[in-house]
Chain A
Amino acid sequence: MTGADCAIEPLGESALLLHFGNIIDRALNDRVHAAAAALRAVALPGVEDIAPAYASLLLRFDPRRWPDAPLLADAVREVLARKGSAGRAPEPAAAAVVELPVCYGGEHGPDLAEVAASTSLTQDEVIARHAAGDYRVAMLGFAPGFAYLLGLDAALAVPRLAAPRLRVPAGSIAIGGAQTGVYPSVLPGGWRLIGRTPLRLFDPARAPPARLAPGLRVRFRAIDAATFTALSEHDA
Chain B
Amino acid sequence: MIEVLTPGLLSSLQDRGRPGLAHLGIGRAGAADLPALRLANALVGNPPDTCAVEITLTGPALRLHRDVEIALTGAPVAAEANGRPLPGWTPLRLRAGSVLRLGGMRHGCRSYLAVRGGIDVATVLGSRSQDLNAGLGPLDGRALRAGDRLPLGPPGDTTGAADHTAWSLDPRPWFDGAAARPLRLLAGTHTTLLDAASREALFAASFGVAAASNRVGCRLDGPRLALRAPLELISEGVIAGTVQLPPNGQPIVLFCEHPVSGGYPRIGQLAAVDLPRLAQRRPGDALRFAPIDAGEAARLLEAREQRLLRMETAIARRRTGS
Q: Which residues in A have some Cβ–Cβ distance to B below 8 Å? A: 9-15, 17, 22-24, 36, 48-58, 60, 63-64, 67-69, 139-148, 185, 204-205, 208-210, 213-214
Contact of B301 among A23, A24, A63, A143 (CB under 8 A): A63
What's the dominant secondary structure at chain A's contact region? Answer: loop
- A15 proximity list for chain B (CB < 8 A): 237, 239
A229 to chain B, nearest CB (A): 25
Q: A49-B20, A53-B261, A63-B301 are in contact. Are A11 and B239 (CB under 8 A)?
A: yes
Within 8 A of A (CB), among B196-236: 233-236
Q: B150: CB under 8 A from chain A? A: no
Contact of A58 among B25, B236, B295, B297 (CB under 8 A): B236
Nearest A-chain residue to B239, judged by Cβ: A15
- Expressed in whole angstroms, the Cα–Cα distance for A208 and B25 within the complex equals 12
Is B186 a contact of A210 with CB atoms below 8 Å? no
Q: Mark B262-286, 1 if CB is under 8 A from A, else 0.
A: 0000100111100000000000000
A85 to chain B, nearest CB (A): 26
Nearest B-chain residue to A40, judged by Cβ: B23
- A146 proximity list for chain B (CB < 8 A): 25
Not counting A15-B239, A143-B259, a sample of 11 additional A-B residue pairs whose C-beta atoms are within 8 angstroms of each other reads: A11-B237, A12-B269, A14-B272, A54-B234, A63-B301, A64-B302, A67-B299, A144-B25, A144-B26, A146-B25, A205-B124
- B298 proximity list for chain A (CB < 8 A): 13, 63, 67-69
Q: A12-B270, A48-B19, A56-B237 are in contact. Are A145 and B25 (CB under 8 A)?
A: yes
Q: B260: CB under 8 A from chain A? A: yes
Is B260 a contact of A51 with CB atoms below 8 Å? yes
Nearest A-chain residue to B268, judged by Cβ: A12
A36 to chain B, nearest CB (A): 8
- Expressed in whole angstroms, the Cα–Cα distance for A58 and B77 within the complex equals 38
Is A10 a contact of B23 with CB atoms below 8 Å? no
- Expressed in whole angstroms, the Cα–Cα distance for A208 and B301 within the complex equals 33
- Expressed in whole angstroms, the Cα–Cα distance for A158 and B272 within the complex equals 41
Q: Which residues in B have some Cβ–Cβ distance to A below 8 Å? A: 19-26, 124-125, 134-136, 186, 189, 233-239, 241-242, 259-261, 266, 269-272, 294-295, 297-299, 301-302, 305
- B237 proximity list for chain A (CB < 8 A): 11, 15, 17, 51, 53, 56-58, 60
- Expressed in whole angstroms, the Cα–Cα distance for A22 and B76 within the complex equals 46
Nearest A-chain residue to B19, judged by Cβ: A48
- B26 proximity list for chain A (CB < 8 A): 144-145, 209-210
Nearest A-chain residue to B234, judged by Cβ: A54
Is A13 a contact of B24 with CB atoms below 8 Å? no
* Residue with the highest number of chain A CB atoms closer than 10 Å, among B261, B297, B298: B261
* Residue with the highest number of chain B CB atoms closer than 10 Å, among A24, A64, A140, A214: A140
- A50 proximity list for chain B (CB < 8 A): 23
Is B24 a contact of A210 with CB atoms below 8 Å? yes
Can you identify 29 A-B contacts, CB atoms within 8 angstroms? Answer: A10-B294, A11-B189, A11-B238, A12-B186, A12-B270, A12-B272, A12-B297, A24-B234, A48-B20, A51-B237, A51-B260, A53-B234, A54-B235, A56-B237, A58-B238, A64-B302, A64-B305, A67-B298, A69-B294, A140-B25, A141-B235, A143-B259, A145-B24, A145-B25, A147-B25, A148-B235, A209-B26, A210-B25, A210-B26
- A24 proximity list for chain B (CB < 8 A): 234
B25 to chain A, nearest CB (A): 4
- Expressed in whole angstroms, the Cα–Cα distance for A68 and B233 within the complex equals 28
Is A139 a contact of B242 with CB atoms below 8 Å? no
- Expressed in whole angstroms, the Cα–Cα distance for A29 and B56 within the complex equals 41
Is A11 a contact of B235 with CB atoms below 8 Å? no
B189 to chain A, nearest CB (A): 6
- Expressed in whole angstroms, the Cα–Cα distance for A185 and B125 within the complex equals 17
Is A67 a contact of B302 with CB atoms below 8 Å? yes
- B189 proximity list for chain A (CB < 8 A): 9, 11, 17
Is B23 a contact of A213 with CB atoms below 8 Å? yes
- B260 proximity list for chain A (CB < 8 A): 51, 58, 140-141
Is A56 a contact of B236 with CB atoms below 8 Å? yes
